[in-house]
A and B are shown apart, each in its own frame.
Chain A
Amino acid sequence: MIKLEKINKTYQVGDSPLRALADVSLNIEPGEYLSIMGPSGSGKSTLLNMIGLLDRPDSGRYWFDQIATEELNEERRAHLRGENIGFIFQSFHLINRLTAFENIELPMMLAGLPLKQRRIAVADVLAMVGLSDRASHKPNQLSGGQLQRVAIARAIVMRPRLLLADEPTGNLDSRSGAEVIDVLEKLNQDGITLITVTHDQKLGDRARRHIRMVDGMIDRDQGGFSVTPENSDMPENSPEPENSPEPKNSPEPKNSHQPTKSNDETI
């Protein structure tokens, strides 16, 4: 379903280039449950954005369902993203002025689907995340766990085949977090491909396949459905001393763990 081949991405940070992804190759089959872990600045969020078609690689190839995505224009990529990929963010990113219903119907609205169809689909996904009675609530009337469940509902309302979750429980207490994970895993059991990026070892361990990233490279890849041939040609413990800055003070804008962020952070 997803095939990355020698993806490279370098960010210019200040004067020095920062290599966020270095020759990353990866195969993901439909229905997989995959967690990407690694220290800050290891490139895991960049990888997620790459898979989610939010970012373009500097070089390398990416097939989504046999479609060579690097050949698509922005318009087609947006379309592909809207139809097939759902995003879940650490800070939910719900629009404050809109009700839960309106937030959830946004992807369908952007796709130009009629209101009737939207109503049915939104009611459906609200039931799926257990928030049928909260459809007309605005984000500031909902708790953190509820907000993330609304965000999940929005992510799946287009019936995507791939769900990308970036620290889905990062802003939640453990009980709400568990609820959210339950919902996500249930979706995965129903066939959706689920990729989570997390710092939380417990959450990461729940996935069937674990990918660990270090310095823009896949360091470890365990538990996949299939043989992952790229493992063999990956230099597993390459020291890579030439262009990897200290991950700690990496200025790369991707420190996805910000526990200080408040729970009701929305747009």
Chain B
Amino acid sequence: MKLFDQLVFNRQVFLRHRVRTLLMLLAVAIGVASVILLTSLGEGARGYVDREFSALGNRILIVLPGRKETTGGGPPMYGASPRDLTLEDANALGRIPGVLAVAPIVAGTTTISHSSRSREVITLGSTAAFFAVRQLQVGAGTLLSARAESEPLAVAVLGVKVKRELFGSSRALGQWVRVGDRRMRVVGVLEERGESLGLDMRDMLVIPVRTAEQLFDSPGLFRILLDIAPSADSDKIKEKILNVIRKRHDGEEDVTVISQDSMLAAFDNILATLTMAIAAISSISLLVAGILIMNISLISVSQRRQEIGLLKAIGASSRQIKQLFIGESLMLISMGSAVGISFAFALIALFAGLWPSFPLQPPVWAVPAALLVAFGTGLVFSIMPAKRAAALDPVLALRGML
């Protein structure tokens, strides 16, 4: 039997049983669409995190005081080293070729108050480079000036939330605030921006690094952020950083260097695994579609016993009968998959229009994987009915005796 003839023959079966055909198509379409949509969701989340990371500045190295002695744990959050990481260390690191900017950070909490309102906030002491490295912009006013690198200026840049809490809707620029035991002038307010990497830049205060040193009475840096050139090899720079620190710290390599790439890779891994898991779960709907196809095919075989008997009598072999029934399932699955894929992509396009900030993007393997599962289950579940059809005794089938 020619393939084309078989297609025509099966088409006539479908036309004869429109409702049944439509229901099976729908089952397959829903399965395929759910695999594509759910994996797109996972992949979309991964893309979102990727973008968040790159919003921090593409290539950042973070130097933490203290060495990670135990492998397998997380990086130390606060240094437990006897030798502090100092501003001088930071300046020395800034001289490494390939490092574009260095942002030393002193961190602590202070109470900031204006007239009767006061608020406990995380306070970062840093330099102008900090804003560049973290890609922060001011919504109003200016950033820290270059002078703030070396002088304990009494100026502060507020996060939007801090500004709102203290000043409400009135103007904050040029106003005096009390930070700890000092008075500082507000020179800028940061642009509204979401949380990134656990730091809510809206609820934060940035002051010159020297001022912070005095305020917290400590020469130790919380960490140093390095912005490295896109062309530079981050592993080599890491090596150089450790060399510089070793020289400056009497041969002790008492810092930990984290590259953003490695953090991103970790997140990537987690989200990719998650997407795969989602794909596996959504494949269950395809399995259900497969079982539906099997059931309906079994019914179809018993309804068409006489036809099968006849086909055998007029020269169809068992193999041809099997082919006809499996072909029927495969045709249904092809059509259902086509419908499902178009539906999924239409929905993804719709989502992209509605929420451009969180676009669903189907991973490249989503469509092949969905098709593979659909055809796999379809094939597996149509073999049994097809075998049953092929095994029918033509004599009894023709007499309607089965």
**Which residues of A line the B interface, CB within 8 A?**
45, 49, 52, 54-55, 74-75, 77-79, 81-83, 86-87, 89, 91, 93, 95-98, 102, 106-107, 109-112, 114, 154-155, 158, 253-254, 267
Q: Smallest Cβ distance from B18 to chain A, in angstroms? A: 11
On whether the beta carbons of A106 and B313 are closer than 8 Å, the reply is: no
Total interface residues on B, using CB and 8 Å?
A: 30
On whether the beta carbons of A267 and B1 are closer than 8 Å, the reply is: no
Q: Smallest Cβ distance from A184 to chain B, in angstroms? A: 17
CB contact under 8 A between A110 and B316, given known A97-B12, A98-B12:
yes
Query: In the bound complex, what is the Cα–Cα distance between A96 and B318 (angstroms)?
Result: 22
CB < 8 Å neighbour of A87 from B2, B5, B314, B319:
B314
Which residues of chain B are within 8 angstroms of A253 by Cβ–Cβ distance?
Answer: 396, 399, 401
CB < 8 Å neighbour of A82 from B315, B395, B400, B401:
B315
On whether the beta carbons of B399 and A267 are closer than 8 Å, the reply is: no
CB < 8 Å neighbour of A111 from B310, B315, B396:
B315
CB contact under 8 A between A82 and B314, given known A110-B320, A253-B401:
yes
Which residues of chain A are within 8 angstroms of B12 by Cβ–Cβ distance?
Answer: 97-98, 102
Query: In the bound complex, what is the Cα–Cα distance between A106 and B318 (angstroms)?
Result: 16
CB < 8 Å neighbour of B317 from A74, A97, A98, A107:
A74
Which residues of chain B are within 8 angstroms of A89 by Cβ–Cβ distance?
Answer: 398
Which residues of chain B are within 8 angstroms of A267 by Cβ–Cβ distance?
Answer: 304, 306-307, 310
On whether the beta carbons of A110 and B311 are closer than 8 Å, the reply is: yes
6 closest residue pairs by CB, A with B = A82-B315, A78-B317, A97-B16, A107-B314, A267-B306, A93-B310
Which residues of chain B are within 8 angstroms of A77 by Cβ–Cβ distance?
Answer: 317
CB < 8 Å neighbour of B306 from A82, A93, A111, A254:
A93
On whether the beta carbons of B319 and A82 are closer than 8 Å, the reply is: no
B208 within 8 A of A: no
Which residues of chain B are within 8 angstroms of A82 by Cβ–Cβ distance?
Answer: 314-316
CB contact under 8 A between A97 and B315, given known A78-B320, A112-B1:
no
CB contact under 8 A between A112 and B16, given known A78-B315, A78-B320, A253-B399:
no
Q: Smallest Cβ distance from B20 to chain A, in angstroms? A: 13
On whether the beta carbons of A97 and B1 are closer than 8 Å, the reply is: no
On whether the beta carbons of B394 and A79 are closer than 8 Å, the reply is: no
Query: In the bound complex, what is the Cα–Cα distance between A161 and B2 (angstroms)?
Result: 24
Query: In the bound complex, what is the Cα–Cα distance between A52 and B304 (angstroms)?
Result: 21
B78 within 8 A of A: no
Which residues of chain A are within 8 angstroms of B304 by Cβ–Cβ distance?
Answer: 267
CB < 8 Å neighbour of A81 from B2, B13, B16, B315:
B315
Can you list 29 contacts pairing A with B, beta carbon distance less than 8 Å?
Answer: A52-B313, A54-B394, A77-B317, A78-B312, A78-B316, A79-B317, A81-B314, A82-B314, A83-B315, A87-B314, A97-B13, A98-B12, A106-B311, A107-B314, A109-B1, A109-B9, A110-B1, A110-B314, A110-B316, A110-B320, A112-B1, A114-B2, A154-B314, A155-B314, A158-B315, A253-B396, A253-B399, A254-B399, A267-B307
Query: In the bound complex, what is the Cα–Cα distance between A57 and B304 (angstroms)?
Result: 26
With A97-B16, A111-B315 known, 19 other A-B pairs at CB within 8 A are: A54-B394, A54-B395, A75-B318, A82-B314, A82-B315, A87-B313, A91-B400, A93-B306, A93-B310, A93-B313, A96-B16, A97-B12, A97-B13, A107-B314, A107-B315, A112-B2, A112-B5, A267-B304, A267-B307
